[in-house]
Structure 1
Amino acid sequence: MSDKKEKIARFGIATKGFVYCLIGALTVMAAIGSGGKKTGKSGVLETLSAQPFGQILLGLTALGLIGFVFWRFYQAIADPEDKGDDLKGIFNRLGYSVSGIFYGILAVTAIKYTFMGNSGSGGEGGNESVVSTLLSKPYGQILVGIVGAAFLGKAIYQLYRAYSGNFKDKVQAAELDSKTENFVLKSGYVGYTARGLVILVISYLTFVAAFTANSNSAGGTKDAFQFVQNEFGTIVLAVIAAGLFTYGFFMFVKSRYRSINI
């Protein structure tokens, strides 16, 4: 049973990598004028649904996302990596749970597209919809500000992971040859940096929505890409999108080589 759990976890991590590779590739293509589109996770599912054998691709992606959700909640509940019950450990395990919830929502969307197709529901507006709902509540601007702060904390953590190098241990434990290991570690630095920058922009957009009480100012990955292009230009957009592709590649490597305790 442990072997089956490990395979499910590895498949889930690889699927996360697949999604990020598509986000990066489609956005780079859009930036250089070779088709594609600026997109986020839900947009990737929409793109898959429009491809030949799209329902099969969506079905496999949905299964992989379910596997990743399983792994996240297993990390949170069973604590196989011994994060512990102190404040830091609880914070880490809570983060696993939140990640599991978000990817669970994405898995449900993938399942819906698999069986019912994409009815033009505009899945990219998830963050904007959440912000709109919060703004309609008492103290809504404060609640949205808290969401913005959560995104800011996540962005800082991604950048911390990149430059503290605390992601390296599991890769180095894989006993890769020195050249391969060096290449993989560099992809980790680039990938975590790019992901941190994108989340930082999402945090900024969420804070703007909080201060202006306007949910249209908020947005997800697609809106962050548009902001980067408008403010910093197409080249910067392409570089960051390529970084997200690199992050996806790094997830593929992790799915194969990282140690998984079940």
Structure 2
Amino acid sequence: MNSVTSAGNQARGAARQATNSRTFERLTRFGMACRGVLYALIGILALQIAFGGGGKEADKTGAVRTVAEQPFGTVLLWLLAIGFVALALWQASEALMGGLKAKDRVEAVAHTVVYALAVGTILGFLLHGTTGSSTDEQSKDLTATVMDWPGGRLIVGAVGLGVIALGLYWIYEGVTKKFCHNLRTGEMSPKTRGVVEKLGMVGYSARGVIAAAAGVFLMQSAITYDPKEAKGIDSTLRSFADTPLGPWLLVVVALGLVVFAVYCFCESRWRRT
């Protein structure tokens, strides 16, 4: 038993040493910049939809296809894959060895899953020439599967409430500048800090609005017992254009995603890792 415990401690120590290395830190910061690229592309695709020129889904699937169409698209996709692998490993290490509170550990696990799914989408295109189904199709398929379980409608409804709560928390995080706790603000000039704070406030609020709307659609799916009511990022964004404000609400939210992308680039420079 002691030898097993010792081996486990040695393995954890080696993993902690690897994740604390300068090389891993640089890869993680590179991954944050890749995250910014993905959000920027989703925001741009959403703007194209708002102005009637959208031909791709405004989600990670559409973003990956857009990158693939660029000169040296394959090289760019491999770089994105490396960046998101680094982010997934970073968040996994935080969840397993970061000594976080329970809430922060759960958040780290959720981020690990999201980044791993992004890696899967990118690798799917690189290795098989396809990004797989869109986030809308994935949402509908998963919702339909869960609804077939005992108590499935309650589970979907609970998840919907959780997504709404996450969206509201992101809005709260943006309004209160709570995200600044993760940044090395002491290394910024007062002017730079003011700009980064504004970028984070707008960006987090935009993400929160999208998440809250997606949660509402999940709740509606549970209430109506119709998986087709569930929406991914693309359909959620498109739904903003169907409000009384018309496409201008979608424009505002899409610009918020582009602003969040710029914040991600700042985060890659000043994030505490």
Among 85, 110, 115, which residue is 1:66 paired with? 85
The answer for the alignment partner of 1:31 in structure 2 is 50
The answer for the alignment partner of 1:57 in structure 2 is 76
The range that moved more, 168-177 or 231-240, is 168-177
Is 1:137 the equivalent of 2:156?
Answer: no
* Partner SS for 1:230: coil
The answer for the alignment partner of 1:246 in structure 2 is 259
- The within-5 A match list for 1:1-262 is 1=18, 2-33=21-52, 37=56, 39-79=58-98, 82-83=99-100, 89-118=101-130, 121-124=132-135, 125-171=137-183, 173-231=185-243, 232-260=245-273
Larger Rg: 2
CA contact (8 A) 2:203 2:259 kept: yes
The answer for the alignment partner of 2:9 in structure 1 is none
Q: Work out the number of aligned pairs and report it.
A: 252
Give the drift of 1:142: 0.8
CA contact (8 A) 1:174 1:258 kept: no
Give the drift of 1:175: 2.3
CA contact (8 A) 1:12 1:71 kept: no
Give the drift of 1:78: 1.5
Give the drift of 1:48: 2.1
Cα distance per residue 1:128-163 (max 9 Å; x no partner): 221111012121111111210221121121011111
The alignment-based identity, stated in percent, is 28
Give the drift of 1:212: 1.0
* Partner SS for 1:77: helix
Give the drift of 1:206: 0.4
TM-score (norm 2): 0.86
Give the drift of 1:245: 0.9
- Supply the AA of the counterpart residue of 2:262: F
Gaps of 5+ in 2: 1-17
- Supply the AA of the counterpart residue of 1:223: S
Give the drift of 1:34: 5.2
The answer for the alignment partner of 1:86 in structure 2 is none
- Supply the AA of the counterpart residue of 1:188: G
Give the drift of 1:243: 0.2
CA distance in 1, matches of 2:169, 2:54: 33
CA distance in 2, matches of 1:152, 1:239: 20
Give the drift of 1:123: 2.3
CA distance in 2, matches of 1:36, 1:256: 33
- Supply the AA of the counterpart residue of 1:251: C
Give the drift of 1:38: 5.0
- Supply the AA of the counterpart residue of 1:146: A
- Supply the AA of the counterpart residue of 2:227: S
CA contact (8 A) 1:144 1:207 kept: yes
